């Protein structure tokens, strides 16, 4: 195939996020200091960090240059973001640009089309993968979203929000809320821990029995575990006050594990929080919502399906994200995307688009396409 070589990157742009109610930013001042110390210039759009309680002064003190417009930030050789580019940002994409962010192309095919048409090198946080199969750049946001999910569920279970009027922990003499968590990965485990801490009755379902053994060993019966299959899902979901969808397929579309007819059989006023919605959702009745308008009712069940849940706590999320992404961003900035991928196989998995072609087989398959070997 064509040699899609990429030059060493010397400038990094950090634009402000424009997705609805998205207040995270892709880089902290400590991240800026790390990059500038490696000889990489960092150009931050003015006020990009305000939502995460980071000022322009903080960035300047760390060595960044503040630029007045998004176009100035996007003009750099490497752009780091939090969320996928919005349609209004597609015009900034170009062939000599490397974009490093959460892309979730299986759920957002229009973004994939835009990256391919522009010839942009797209590197996705969520598909950077270690040899043991773990996803180091997805993990911190999965943990944040997982910890938020029971909070959001508890809030919308309140009757004045349209819920069943159930208190998560109950009180002496009154049963606690029944919480069902579908998936025992980072999102599911984090959700279960917080729900159990709120003294709810928590059941976690997963196909991976080793993962369930881990949860059981850690929590010593405080969290019930069940092997996930059609029967166990049907029985638990019907009786649940709160269902948290936490099913993940790395790079691909989340499988639908709860059918619409099962949602229709749930208790009136029950709540669904589908954390997998940014990968298409694992509940048949969910579609993406926003922080400004987070829930809708269907079949008498409230659905919370915000696609950027960690954006609700942008300060915590920004620092957690940079802690995880910084070593990889630095590697890509210093060696170029393909150079970094040749040095680190984890980054090879992160390559989603290169030179107008798909580069990740799982993502490509989810979009009905074929991937090429970008390093071949």
Residue 193's contacts (CB-CB under 8 Å, 6 or more residues apart) are 147, 219, 223
Strand order in the sheet with 201-206: 223-227, 201-206, 178-182, 242-245, 271-274, 301-304, 295-298
> 206, 241, 274, 278: which is the annotated catalytic residue?
278
Residue whose C-alpha is closest to residue 136's, from 297, 280, 250: 250
Q: SS3 for 73?
A: helix
* Torsion over CA: 64, 70, 74, 80 (sign): positive
* Torsion over CA: 125, 126, 131, 134 (sign): positive
Q: In the structure encoding, which two tokens stand for residue 275, read together?
A: 């954390």
Please report, for the chain, how many H helices and E strands are present, in that order: 13, 15
Q: In the structure encoding, which two tokens stand for residue 127, read together?
A: 């598909």
Q: Whats the size of the chain, residue-wise?
A: 376
> 104, 335, 349, 358: which is the annotated catalytic residue?
104
**Known catalytic residue at 287:** no
Specify whether the backbone of 281 is left (phi greater than 0), alpha (psi in -120 to 50) or beta. Answer: left
Give the Cα separation of 255 and 250 in Å (integer): 11
Residue whose C-alpha is closest to residue 43's, from 18, 19, 67: 67
Do the beta carbons of residue 285 and residue 278 sit within 8 Å? no
**Known catalytic residue at 160:** no
Residues recognised as catalytic: 104, 278
């Amino acid at each position: 195939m064509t040699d899609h070589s990429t030059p060493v990157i010397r400038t990094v742009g950090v634009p402000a996020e424009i997705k609805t109610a998205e207040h995270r930013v892709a880089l902290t001042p400590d991240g800026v200091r790390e990059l500038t110390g490696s000889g990489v210039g960092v150009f931050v759009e003015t006020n990009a960090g305000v939502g995460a309680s980071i000022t322009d002064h903080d960035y300047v003190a760390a060595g960044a240059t503040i630029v007045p417009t998004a176009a100035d930030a996007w003009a750099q050789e490497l752009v780091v973001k939090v969320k996928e580019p919005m349609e209004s940002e597609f015009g900034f994409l170009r062939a000599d640009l490397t974009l490093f962010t959460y892309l979730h192309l299986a759920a957002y095919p229009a973004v994939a089309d835009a990256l391919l048409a522009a010839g942009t090198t797209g590197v996705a946080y969520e598909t950077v993968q270690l040899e043991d199969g773990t996803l180091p750049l997805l993990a911190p946001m999965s943990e944040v979203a997982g910890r938020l999910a029971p909070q959001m569920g508890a809030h919308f279970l309140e009757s004045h929000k349209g819920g069943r009027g159930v208190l998560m922990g109950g009180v002496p003499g009154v049963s606690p809320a029944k919480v069902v968590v579908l998936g025992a990965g980072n999102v599911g485990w984090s959700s279960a821990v917080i729900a159990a801490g709120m003294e709810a009755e928590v059941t976690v379902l997963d196909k991976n029995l080793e993962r369930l053994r881990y949860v059981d060993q850690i929590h010593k019966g405080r969290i019930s575990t069940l092997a996930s299959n059609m029967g166990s899902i049907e029985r638990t979901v019907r009786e649940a006050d709160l269902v948290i969808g936490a099913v993940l397929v790395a790079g691909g579309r989340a499988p639908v594990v709860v059918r619409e007819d099962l949602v229709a059989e749930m208790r009136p006023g029950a709540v669904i929080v589908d954390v997998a919605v940014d990968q298409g959702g694992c509940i048949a009745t969910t579609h993406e919502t926003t922080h400004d308008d987070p829930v809708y009712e269907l079949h008498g069940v409230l659905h919370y399906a915000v696609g950027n849940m960690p954006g609700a706590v942008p300060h915590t999320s920004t620092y957690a994200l940079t802690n995880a992404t910084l070593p990889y961003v630095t590697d890509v900035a210093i060696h170029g995307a393909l150079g970094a991928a040749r040095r680190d196989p984890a980054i090879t998995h992160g390559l989603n688009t290169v030179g107008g072609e798909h580069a990740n087989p799982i993502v490509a398959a989810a979009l009905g396409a074929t991937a090429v070997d970008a390093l071949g």
